[in-house]
Amino acid sequence: MSEDVYEVPEGTEYRYLVQDEEEEQIQYVRRHYVSPFLVVSRRCMFFIACGVIALLSLAGYLAYVAETPPPGVAEVETECGWLRGHWKGGAYSFKGIPYAVPPVGERRWRPPVDLLAAGQCWQGMYDATRFRSICAQVQPLQKDGKVMGQEDCLHLSVWTPSLQPAKPLPVMVWIHGGYLHMLSGQERGYSPTEELAARTQTVYVSLNYRLNAFGFMALEVLREGSPTNSSGLLSISLALCLSLQHIEIHQTSWHERELWLHGPDPSTSVGPEKYP
């Protein structure tokens, strides 16, 4: 007996002929149809496995790249959170770091408040690769001068030739001039640079402080809580304290630490001063 078999899609009736002694019989049967696309060969399994491994490898690489800072970027941890700075010209720089709660609204003319003490530290990684706003001021000091800057301006910047120095480094703080009315701690040509820190092997700090009426309008009604009668000088004092605390984190072996204070005029420079 010979059989001729013809397969058709599932659900379709078909017939095949059974020839036996020249007698023709027609039988109707139903068979399950299996799609060839569901039949996976070993070669297909191999390619699928390779594809999965490649995707997992790519995901791992992207995760590594996301967590690894790019060249020229440095990350350090402070009491208030992580900072991402910049490496250039042989030194590191961390710019525009907030050192006090923004002195706006009810805090205007009030003594500055430390971010950590107020519980207002930044979340995540703080971008310290660029300067922030200068303090509110008028330039030039004339009737037709232009108002620029913001009240939220209490930031400082740090330049250091090393994050882990083999020996203690001197620290120089630059307090900008401008008659207490104008300018900032980030003036090009005046403020420190990475090149200067690398050449002199010195840590430099510059800062912004409240100017003009926002920092030095010593009216009787504004003197409450300010022993110096000016919120501008208190801003400088807080910035100095916080700067030294952060620098001490990376120079814990200091027994005596030297601090140089420099203003815009060489005659106003003071140092070295010993501080505990």
Averaged over successive runs of 10 residues, the pLDDT of the chain (276 residues) comes to: 48 47 51 55 74 83 61 88 93 95 92 92 94 93 88 95 89 91 93 95 94 85 64 79 60 41 48 38
**N- to C-terminal Cα separation, the chain:** 110
What is the domain extent for residue 193? 73-275
Q: What is residue 250's predicted lDDT score, i.e. its pLDDT?
A: 46
- Look up tokens 């003319």; give the residue: 109
Do 95 and 194 lie in one domain? The reply is yes
**CATH code for the domain of 217:** 3.40.50.1820
Do 203 and 265 lie in one domain? The reply is yes
Do 151 and 207 lie in one domain? The reply is yes
Q: What is residue 251's predicted lDDT score, i.e. its pLDDT?
A: 47
Q: What is residue 114's predicted lDDT score, i.e. its pLDDT?
A: 92
Q: Are 165 and 250 in contact (CB under 8 A)?
A: yes
Do 100 and 237 lie in one domain? The reply is yes
Do 257 and 136 lie in one domain? The reply is yes
Other Cβ atoms less than 10 A from the Cβ of 243: the count is 22
Distance (Å, whole) CA 95 – CA 193: 11
Do 162 and 49 lie in one domain? The reply is no
| Boundary of a domain, candidates 24, 51, 68 | 68
Do 81 and 28 lie in one domain? The reply is no
Do 101 and 61 lie in one domain? The reply is no
Other Cβ atoms less than 10 A from the Cβ of 137: the count is 22
Do 50 and 12 lie in one domain? The reply is no
Q: What is residue 51's predicted lDDT score, i.e. its pLDDT?
A: 84
Do 60 and 167 lie in one domain? The reply is no
Q: What is residue 256's predicted lDDT score, i.e. its pLDDT?
A: 37
Q: Are 99 and 239 in contact (CB under 8 A)?
A: yes
Q: What is residue 254's predicted lDDT score, i.e. its pLDDT?
A: 32
Domains held by the chain: number: 3
Do 92 and 18 lie in one domain? The reply is no
| Boundary of a domain, candidates 53, 68, 83 | 68
Do 24 and 134 lie in one domain? The reply is no
The whole-model pTM stands at 0.67
Question: For the chain, how long is the longest CA-to-CA vector?
Answer: 128
